[in-house]
Structure 1
Amino acid sequence: MKVTRLSSGISIRRTIAEGTEQQVTAVKAIIQEVKDYGDEAMFRFTEKWDGAKLTSLRVTEEEISQAVDRFDPQLLVDLTEAAANIRKYHESQQQQGYRLDNEDGSYVAQRVTAIESAGLYVPGGTAAYPSSVLMNVIPAQVAGVPRIVLISPPSKDGTLSDGVLASAHILGITEVYKSGGAQAIAALAYGTESIAPVDKITGPGNIFVALAKREVNGDVAIDMIAGPSEIAIIADDTAYADEVAADLLSQAEHDPLASAVLLTTSKKLADAVSKQVEKQLATLPREAIASPAIANHSMIYLGETMQELITAADQLAPEHLEIMTDDAEAVAEKIHHAGAIFIGRYSSEPIGDYFAGTNHVLPTNSTARFSSALSVYDFIKRTSIIRYSQKAWQNNKEKIARLARLEGLEGHARAVESRSWKKENEQ
C-alpha cells in the first residue's frame, strides 16, 4: 500500500460513484422494459445477465426446505444465534407515539406505524450474503412490517444460495424471488404479474442496483444509495501490523472499487502494514478482487498527532471505522462521522458484519456525515395528529389568519375564519 503524509491541503473524502452515462441509460431502459413487459422482461434479463433460464420467479417452499436440509447444521445454529443478537439490538429501537393535551381541550399527537410492505435486496454475484438477509429482514420485522419480500440474483442453474434461503427460513420469510440487478429493483418498485410492488426497497448491491434505486426513488422509498465497501483504521504503535492488514483486506475483498485506509502516527506501523498487506494479499482467495481495491482506492496516511487523525477520519466519514490505539475509547468519543465504530483490538469489522447485533447496511461515500445505519426507523412512519377544540380555535383563529395573510394565502385565512361562533351555536 502507498504511504503518504497528511497535510492541511489534502482531501481524503471518498468520491461518490455516479455511474457512467452508458450505465445510467442502460438502467433506465431496463426499468422501462420491466414496467412495460413485466415477468417476460424479468425472465429475459435474468437469462441475459445471470445465465439462468427461469419459468417462475418465485422460490417455492420446497426449494427453501431442500436448501435448509442441505445446509450445514452448525452454520444454521450460528445464523440463528446471530439473528437473536441482531433482533435484541434492534428491539431497543422500537418507538411509541405520544399525545400532548392542552387545557383548552385541544391536543396534538404523533402516531407511529409500520410501512405496509418492504422489498429487501440481497446481493449475489461474486458472493452470496446470508447475513444481508438477517440485517434487512429483522429491523423490518421488529418495526411490524406485515409484508416482507426478498429478492436475490440466481446462479446459472436457477437456484438461490442455500445460505440465503436458510436465513429466510430462520426468519419465517416465504415470499422470495429470483432476480438481480436493475430489473429486480424495477419489479419491487412497479410490480409484475408475479411480484406485487412494495413501499420501500432496502439492501446494497452493485452499481446497477444503486443506479436503479436512485431512479425509482420517489415512486417508492429507498434506504440509501450504497457505494463500494469502505474501512478506515486509526492506529498507533500499540497496534499489530498483521491484524491491521487483515482488517484492511476484509473490506478490500468485497469489490475492486472498495477502499481501505489506515490513519496512523507511527511510521514503523505504516511500513509494517504495507508489507503485511502485500504478504497476505498473495494468499487471499479473492486476491483478484482485492488487489485493484488496494492499488487504486486505498492508502496509508501518516499524521503528526492523534487529533490530526481524528480530523481526517471525520473528513472521510467512512462506512466502517476501527480504532486500535492506546486509549481507543477516548479516541472514539471524539469521532463525529462514521457508519459504525469498532473500538479496540478485538472488535474487528467482521464482528459487526455478522454477529454483534448492529446492522451492517451502512452509509458509504462519506454520507455518514448525515445518514445512519439501516434500522427499525427505516420501516416506520410518523403521522402527525391535530384535534383543535372550539375554545382553541376561538383563541387562535385571528393569529393563524394573520400568519396566512402574511404569506399571501387568503384561502388559508378564510378556511380558519369560516368556522363562525353563530354556526357552532346553531348545530
Structure 2
Amino acid sequence: MSTTSVQLRACGPLSRLDTETRRAIVDRSSTTDTTVRARTAAIIEQVRTRGDAALLEFARDLDRVTLTALEVPRADWDAALASLNPDLRQSLERAARNIASVHTAFLPVETVCSPEPGITVGRRPDALQRVGIYAPGGRAAYPSSLLMGAIPARVAGVQEVIVCSPPGADGKPSAVVLAAAALANVDRVFSLGGAGAIAALALGTQSVPQVDRIMGPGNAYVAEAKLQLVNRVAIDSPAGPSELLVLADQTANANAIAREMMAQAEHDPDAAVIAVLTGPKVDRLTTEIVDALDAQLATAPRAEVVRASLAARGAIVTVPELNDAIEFTNAWAAEHLLLVVSDDVRDRTLAALRSAGTIFVGASSSVAYGDYMTGANHVLPTAGAGRSYSGLSTLDFVRWTTWQEVTPSAAAALADDVGRFADAEGLPGHAAAARAWGQGGTT
C-alpha cells in the first residue's frame, strides 16, 4: 500500500482485526455524556414547570437572541419562500413532489379478514392528530429534514403539523427552513432549538401545543431529550451521528467509493464510515480506495472533519466470501448502505440485506440523492438500531385501530372454547359472558 496521509481506524482483513479495533468499528452505540444527560434533564424540568418563560430564557442564554415571541408568523414563511433563489426553490419543489409521490405510494391501507364464518376482524390506519417536526439549525440549516418530516405527515392525513427550528441572529429560523415550511404547508413554526424544543413539543407550554409524536434529527441534546421523554410522547427512532457502509466487490470503482465515504464523513467527527470489500482482487481495491481518499482529501473543504471521522471510526475491511460479508453487514445495520457488486449477484445480495436504514443499489445511486431528491426518507435509524427500527415513513404518522365483530351464531360456536380458556385462567366472569351466548344469548 502506498504511503498516504489518510488515517483509518482499521484497514485490512476483518478476520485479523484485534478485539479492540473490531469493537471500535462495530459498536457505534454511545453512552450519553453525563453532562449532556444532566443538562437535558434540567432543561426538561424547566420547561415542565415554567413553560414559555423557560424557553425565552434558553433562547437568550443558549442561542444568544432575545425573542419577543416564540411563534414565527406565517407571513414570514411566505416572504422567505417568495424571496428564495429561484433555482433553489425549483430544487426544493422537485424534492417535495418526489417525497409526496413516494410516500403516497407507501400509504398503509385498512385490512379486513374473516378467520371463521361470522367473525370479522379489521385493522385501520388512523392519522395522528398533531405531530412535531424538528428541523436542525445552528451551524447549518436543513430544509431537507423539514420536508422529510412534514410532507409524509400531510400525505398520511395528520391534522396539525408543528415545526420547531433554532433561531438565528434575527430571532427566526433560517430563511431556507422557513421557505420549506411554507412549501410543505405546515400549520405553525416556532423559533425553538435543542432539548427545550423537544420538551415543549412533548409537554406543551402556553404557546407550543403538545404533540402526539416527534420526528426529525438533531444534536446530542435533541437525541437525549427524545429518549428522556419517550414515556410522554412517541419518537421516530433513536438517533446518533451519520453512518455509511459500502458493500462492494472487485467490480466497484475506487474513486466512487471514496467520494461516498468522504460525503458521509464530512457530517461529523463522530460519523462512522466503513467499506466492506469481498471477492477476488480486493487487496488492490483497498489500496485504490485509500489512494482516492488521500487525493480527495487534498481539496476537500471539510477535510479536518473528514480526517477526524476516518481516524476514529473509518475502516476498509476485506471479507473473502460474499455470504460472510452479508452477515457482517446485517449485523452492522447501517443507516445508509451502498451496494456495489456485480450484476450476477446484485439481486440476491439485495434480498439478503435485512437491517439497513436504506439501501442504495449501484454506484450511481449516491447517498446524496437519497438525502435530498429521490423521495425516500432520510430520517433513518443509526448505531445498529436498524435491526429493529425502520426509516421514517407514512407508517410513523398513523396509529392502528383494530375492530372486530362476532355474529350471534358465531358467538354460540365460540362459547365453549372461550369458556374453557377463561376457566383455565381463573376468570369466571369471562367464562359466563362467553357461555351466555352458547345458551341462547342475553337471557
| TM-score over 0.5 (shorter chain) | yes
Deviation at 1:101, TM superposition (A): 5.0
Q: Give per-residue Cα distances to partners, 1:145-193, cap 9 Å, x unaligned.
A: 0101111111233121222111111121241111111111100001111
- Corresponding residue SS for 2:92: helix
Q: Does 1:236 align with 2:236?
A: no
Cα offset, 1:341, TM superposition: 1.0
Give SS of 1:150's match: strand
Match of residue 3 from structure 2 = none
Pair 1:257–1:209, CA change in 2 (3 A): same
Q: Is the 8 A contact 1:114 1:143 kept in 2?
A: yes
For residues 85-129 of structure 1, give each alpha carbon's deviation from its aligned partner in whole angstroms, at most 9, with x where no partner exists: 111111111122233357764432222211111101111122211
The CA distance in 2 between the partners of 1:36 and 1:273, in whole Å, is: 54
Q: Quote the Cα distance in structure 2 between the aligned partners of 1:344 and 1:102.
A: 43
1:249 corresponds to which of 237, 253, 262: 262
Cα deviation code 1:10-39 (max 9, x no counterpart)? 565333123022221211111111010000
Provide the secondary structure at the position in 2 that maps to 1:127: coil
SS in 2 for 1:201: strand
Are residues 209 and 345 of structure 1, via their aligned partners in 2, closer, same or farther at CA, if it must alter by over 3 Å?
same
Which of 280, 284, 290 is the aligned partner of 2:296? Answer: 280
Alignment of 1:287-366 (within 5 A): 287-327=303-343, 328-366=346-384
Say which is worse superposed, 99-108 or 373-382, in terms of deviation: 99-108
Give the structure-2-normalised TM-score.
0.90
Structure 2 residue aligned with 1:406:
424
Q: Which amino acid aligns with 1:82?
A: A
How does 1:98-247 map onto structure 2 within 5 Å?
Answer: 98-100=111-113, 105-247=118-260
Work out whether residues 110 and 382 of structure 1, in 8 Å CA contact, stay in contact via their aligned partners in 2.
Answer: yes
Indicate the SS of the match to 2:416.
helix
Partner residue in 2 for 1:385: 403
Preserved contact between residue 136 and residue 217 of structure 2 (Cα < 8 Å): yes
Counterpart amino acid of residue 103 in structure 2: H
**Correspondent of 2:75 among 62, 75, 80:** 62
- When the two structures are superposed, what TM-score results if normalisation uses the length of structure 1? 0.93
**Aligned counterparts of 1:105 and 1:311: Cα–Cα separation in 2:** 46
Closer/same/farther in 2, CA of residues 28 and 106 from structure 1, 3 Å limit: same
Change (3 A) 1:213 1:102: closer
Task: Give the Cα–Cα distance (whole angstroms) in 2 for the partners of residues 48 and 151 of structure 1.
Answer: 18
Render the CA deviation track for 1:184-205: whole Å, top value 9, x for unaligned: 1100001111111000111111
Match of 2:14 in 1: 6
Show structure 1 runs of 4+ deviating over 4 A.
8-12, 101-106, 417-423
Give the match's secondary structure for 1:204. Answer: coil
Supply the distance in 2 between the matched residues of 1:243 and 1:268 (Cα, whole angstroms). 15
| Structure 1 stretches lacking a partner, 5+ long | none
Report the Cα distance in structure 2 between the residues aligned to 1:359 and 1:390, rounded to whole angstroms: 47
> How far apart are 1:363 and its partner, in Å?
1.2
Total equivalences in the alignment:
425
Identify unmatched segments of 5+ residues in structure 2.
Answer: 1-6
Superposed displacement of residue 230, structure 1: 0.4
**Cα deviation per residue 1:307-354 (whole Å; 9 max; x = unaligned)?**
332222112110111122323444323322211111112111101111
Structure 1 residue 258, shift from structure 2 partner: 0.5
What is the rounded CA distance, in whole Å, between the counterparts of 2:402 and 2:305 in structure 1?
48
Aligned residues with identical type, % of pairs: 37
- In the TM superposition, residue 384 of structure 1 has moved relative to its aligned partner by 1.2
Question: Residues of 1 paired with 2:118 and 2:331: CA distance?
Answer: 50
- Structure 1 residues 235 and 395: CA distance shift in structure 2, 3 A: closer
**Residue 50 of structure 1: SS of its match in structure 2?**
coil
Question: Is this contact kept in 2: 1:104–1:391, CA < 8 A?
Answer: no
| CA deviation profile, 1:203-262 (whole Å, cap 9, x unmatched) | 111111111111111211111011110001122333222221111011111111111101
Q: What is the Cα deviation at residue 382 of structure 1?
A: 1.2
Counterpart residue identity of residue 66, structure 1? A
Over 3 Å counting, the alpha-carbon distance change for 1:105 and 1:131 in structure 2 is same
Mapped partners of 1:100, 1:303: distance in 2: 46
Please tell me the residue identity of whatever aligns with 2:54: A
The letter of the residue matching 1:312 is F
- Report if the CA contact (8 A) 2:40-2:221 is conserved: yes
SS of 2:26's partner is: coil
SS of equivalent to 1:271: helix
Name the stretch that deviates more: 101-110 or 202-211.
Answer: 101-110
Taking the aligned partners of 2:442 and 2:420, their CA distance within structure 1 comes to: 22
C-alpha root-mean-square deviation of aligned residues, in Å? Answer: 2.1
Deviates more, 1:415-424 or 1:403-412: 415-424
Contact 1:13 1:317 in 2 (8 A): no
